[in-house]
Structures are given as structure tokens and as C-alpha cells.
Amino acid sequence: MSIKTDIVEAPIHWKAYLINGDCSGMDEEQIEACDKYFAGMQVLDCNTETERFTNCADLFGSTSQGDTVCEYTVVV
């Protein structure tokens, strides 16, 4: 049996919640957006070396248009 992984981009400030379950510093709207964006996926890793700012962060699940995003490795 093989495990299928993928790389997705999402706001970097979600990493504590996604990796450790720590939602301190996030409001309810951000938590809901994160849960919706990663529905059906399990996060394995967060690569902060890929950090970049984008004016289109809402395309990566962010609740704001401008945000810093990075790559997350997920099981799909």
C-alpha cells in the first residue's frame, strides 16, 4: 500500500495549529478557514524555507488577501 502525498501552500501562521494543534493567536474565522482548506488532508510537514508573501493569499485559504504563505506536505 502506498501513501499519496502532495504539497500545498497555505498561511505560515497556521503551522502551530496544523502541526501541534495549538490555535492560540488564531480567531474562530481563521480556524474555520484552516479546517475547511485542509479538509480531507493530514498535514505531515511545514517547510518554512519556502516562506513568501503574496497578495493573493485568499487563494490559499487565508482570511486576508495579503499574507505570508509556505508549503505544507499533506497526505491526500
pLDDT given at position 1: 80
pLDDT given at position 14: 97
Q: What is the pTM of this model?
A: 0.91
**What's the mean per-residue pLDDT of the chain?**
95
pLDDT in tens, 3-41: 999 999 999 999 999 999 999 999 999 999 999 999 999
Asked if residue 68 lies in contact with residue 53, where contact means CB atoms within 8 angstroms, the answer is yes
Name 72's Cβ contacts closer than 8 Å, sequence gap at least 6.
Answer: 7, 8, 9, 10, 15, 18, 43, 44, 45, 46, 47
pLDDT in tens, 39-70: 999 999 999 999 999 999 999 999 989 999 99
